[in-house]
Amino acid sequence: MNDHSQKDPQAMTTIKLTTAQAMMRWLSVQKTEDGDRFIDGVWAIFGHGNVAGIGEALHGIGDALPTWRGQNEQTMCHAAIAYAKTKRRRRAMAVTSSIGPGATNMVTAAALAHVNRLPLLLIPGDVFANRRPDPVLQQIEDFEDGTVSANDCFKPVSRYFDRISRPEHLLTCLPRAMATLTDPQNCGPVTLAFCQDVQAEDYDFPVAFFQPRTWRIRRPEPDLSRDGKRLSARSGGHSGALLGARHNPAYGPAHTQRFRVGHWLGYTALLDRARVAEPVDAPGLEPGTR
C-alpha cells in the first residue's frame, strides 16, 4: 500500500494560508524591473481591527516584507508618500491601521497622494464580514445602510478601492491594485479595506498566484507628430530655434504629458542653459543628473 501521508511539494497546486498571510506573501514577490520589491515595507499601528490577522502575517513573513512601527496613522502615510516621491514612483510602501478612527486618520494623506498621483497602498481594518459581532469596538453605525463603514470615506480619494470580504477576493483585487500603483497615468492611492474576520480566515490559494512577478512601469513617449508640428509652426519650421530664441527660458517637464524632459526635447545643450522646473503633480520626472 502506498503511503500518501507525505505530499510531494512539486505536486501541490494549492497552499493553505490565512487571507492576511496570502496578501503579504503576494506583495513580497511583486518586483520592479531592477529586481527590487515594489512594496518595500509596511507601516503599521496595530489594534483589534488588524493585529490578529495582518499583525500575525507580518510577524511571520519577517524581513521578506519589513514592518515599520508608527505612532500616528497620518504621519505613517506621509512617510510612505515621501518614500514613493523620493523613489520617483518606482517603489512604494503600504500602511495598515485598525478600524474606525485609526482608519479615518489616513484619509487626509490619501487625498495628498491622490492629487499628486503618488503610489500608496492603504490596508485599513474593517468590520466583521459575517456581522456576528455587530457593532464592534469603534465601528461607525449607520442605521439606514448596513453596508457603510468608516472606510467608505476613502472612496473619493482613492484611485482604486475594494473591500475584502472573502479570501478569494485577493485573486482579483491585488493584481488590480498593483496595476493602479504602477500605471503612470492612473497612479495614486489604493485602499483595500480588510474585514477583520476574513484576515484570519484560511483558504486554499493557488500556488501559482505567489510566483514572483515583474511590473514594468510605462514611460510614455511624446506624440511628436502633434507636439512637433505645433512647435514647428510657431518657429517657421525650426522648433529648436524657437526654444533657443527665448530669453532665459524655463520649462516644466509635465505640462500636458508625463515623461522625462530629455526624452522628447532632445536638446541636451539647450537644457544645460535652460531653467527646468518640476511641478508638484509630477514628481520624479526630471533626470537626477540635472
Whether residue 242 is found in the same domain as residue 124:
no
Higher pLDDT, 8 or 103: 103
Whether residue 21 is found in the same domain as residue 50:
yes
Range of the domain at 260: 224-276
In a domain, 290, yes or no: no
The last residue of one of the domains, among 196, 214, 232, is: 214
Whether residue 200 is found in the same domain as residue 246:
no
In a domain, 103, yes or no: yes
Q: In the numeric block, which cell numbers belong to residue 228? A: 512637433
The last residue of one of the domains, among 194, 214, 234, is: 214
pTM (2 d.p.): 0.76
CATH number for the domain spanning 93: value is 3.40.50.970
pLDDT for position 11: 56
Q: pLDDT tens digit string along 26-80?
A: 999 999 998 999 999 999 999 999 999 999 999 999 999 999 999 999 999 999 9
In a domain, 9, yes or no: no
Whether residue 185 is found in the same domain as residue 249:
no
Residues whose CB falls within 8 Å of the CB of residue 279, separated by 6 or more in sequence, listed in order: 252, 253, 254, 255
Whether residue 57 is found in the same domain as residue 121:
yes
Q: List Cα–Cα distances, 216 to 14, 59, 90, 92, in angstroms.
A: 27, 29, 9, 14
Whether residue 39 is found in the same domain as residue 68:
yes
pLDDT for position 134: 81
pLDDT for position 255: 43
In a domain, 99, yes or no: yes
Higher pLDDT, 111 or 5: 111
Whether residue 124 is found in the same domain as residue 256:
no
- In this structure, of 3-17, 67-81, 106-120, 149-163, the range with the lowest mean pLDDT score is 3-17
Higher pLDDT, 135 or 241: 135
Whether residue 182 is found in the same domain as residue 272:
no
Whether residue 195 is found in the same domain as residue 229:
no
Whether residue 132 is found in the same domain as residue 23:
yes
Higher pLDDT, 164 or 136: 164
Percent above pLDDT 70 for the chain: 72
In a domain, 7, yes or no: no
Whether residue 124 is found in the same domain as residue 158:
yes
Banded pLDDT at 256 (limits 50, 70, 90): very low
In a domain, 86, yes or no: yes
The last residue of one of the domains, among 183, 214, 245, is: 214
Q: pLDDT tens digit string along 176-217?
A: 999 999 998 899 999 999 999 999 999 999 999 999 999 998
Q: pLDDT tens digit string along 218-251?
A: 877 766 666 555 555 554 544 455 455 555 555 5
What is the overall mean pLDDT for the chain?
83
Whether residue 176 is found in the same domain as residue 87:
yes
Number of domains in the chain: 2
In a domain, 289, yes or no: no
In a domain, 120, yes or no: yes
